[in-house]
A and B are shown apart, each in its own frame.
Chain A
């Protein structure tokens, strides 16, 4: 069919032009675009988060019920409640597993939502299409970052709230402390700030590497590395407190919520004993042998040490919120650095039509 057989495609500009329903870069337009481009990742994350939070909430309720049945005390062994709690696949074991899973949720936000934000555009060569419209590249980027960042924050906030509740329920029924890495790293707002941080890191890696798989693997490697580092070093974020205690004395007041780093003493030539006299001087091995003859033999009598004290090094439970705060600021700082990197990379990205 000849083109001449068709009516003109449009009226003259003055008649045919229609303003867009919303101004370019308006929230509704970019909201639709963000949803349309990332809907499967958003839905997958929603499903995972819903299953995880639902399961954790159910377990927390179950643990709390058992705890109440034991009169809010640790359930004595051989009671039905104790057997239920400590069954191989019982609520306690599953709760610990889910709290471990929560620690890995943030990497999902980085891998499934953060990384593809720019790599998909690079790989499909659609960045020029996106950036050549009236919406400026930076507005396009910040709008998408804000929308997806809010989604990640809302999702991880829900997970963080429920996992914090579960961690406290687990600690209440057993002999564990909130300082244990399983509970500490899955409680407070850590899943939220960590999720936002790794989302931003994912975007930055995507912007820098421009390929999904390498950026994804780098994000996973970075996440594992940083998580292990945090796990190994979080108890030393602040200098531990110390306090003298008599040898063989009962635990310090509040020790149920404290993390004891060192409370023991030792004997041996060249080894610090951690035993102190009344004036606060640490006693050497030679002094101890002089003071307690036979202490270095198999038939030692340690009653001569009763007058001495050990230096207990610990982190009190009251510091847990402070430690969480420090880590939260760390993750938010990571997010800020990553977003700065994204901004710099995008500003320096030159596109050519050919």
Chain B
């Protein structure tokens, strides 16, 4: 990945809260101008990672580069503007939506009033009603409008769809993709509901117990994993790394990561079938595999 195409470069970042490690030696690069899905179970460190990237939270060790510039605690620096929207979608309850936009204009170097207003109009949020009297979904739209109006280079959304009804989820996801396509913005959205990401995310970052378990382009990741089903066997009938294996009396199922070669080998073993994996299946498989590895390590240590 070329330097200019990297939006976020995380190098050996760890974060410890007293005795608990929230992140451990995280290392990955995220491409610019794409939708990045940050996925992980509850407590995996997603919010901590986003807070560190935004500069609000200092890392215990390691460095984060946004747009090639190092992020320090204490807010945005010139050239690498990062906006973050927390999971609870904070807004000032006694402000109306118009006041919230003025807040954004008053506190940002760059402000796109038209973009913020269009977002509110698109989702029919009344400008003159106090945020405290708006529905949870409407408050989330106001918070999103402020975040988008500031025209950040990187926009971090923590569980952005959690307050929205199913129809609004689909519309917001679509609009956010449109924003990324229209502007030069990298969008990272975290969730533990993988089904929300299908068709939305270009890039996947899977976080497990504070570590980056999987990171890559979604299409490539899906193309490089297969589910192989066939007669019971200890090993799959082809090359690749076994991510997950499941055995019944007469049947075995393997999720395999294929080797990184230009031409993938065909599966020709009799009785075996190969099927692509879904994004949700891929994520769940990796999370389960990571958990098994942790449990095995803990058992060995005990």
Contacts and interface: CB of A to CB of B under 8 A. Distances in A.
Contact of A33 (B76, B106, B178, B184): B106
A239 to B, nearest CB: 49
Interface string A127-158: 01111111111101000000000000000000
A8 B50 CA distance: 28
A138 B170 CA distance: 38
- Give chain A's interface secondary structure class: loop
Contacts of A6: 122
A3 B106 contact: no
B241 to A, nearest CB: 32
A20 B111 contact: yes
Contacts, number: 164
Q: Which range holds the interface residue count of chain B?
A: 35 or more
Contact of A353 (B76, B81, B84, B182): B84
A137 B90 contact: no
B182 A12 contact: yes
B207 to A, nearest CB: 12
A9 B115 contact: yes
Given A134-B81, A351-B51, A33 B107 contact: yes
Contacts of A17: 110, 112, 151
Nearest to A31: B106
A352 B47 contact: yes
A136 B56 CA distance: 10
B157 to A, nearest CB: 9
27 contacts: A3-B170, A9-B122, A10-B112, A10-B114, A13-B182, A17-B151, A19-B110, A20-B106, A20-B108, A21-B105, A24-B106, A36-B102, A37-B92, A125-B88, A129-B146, A133-B104, A134-B75, A134-B81, A135-B107, A136-B74, A137-B74, A138-B74, A140-B107, A350-B58, A353-B47, A353-B51, A353-B156
Closest 7 CB pairs of A and B: A354-B47, A29-B106, A133-B107, A20-B111, A10-B115, A136-B75, A3-B174
Interface of A: 2-4, 6, 8-13, 16-26, 28-30, 32-33, 36-37, 124-126, 128-138, 140, 350-354
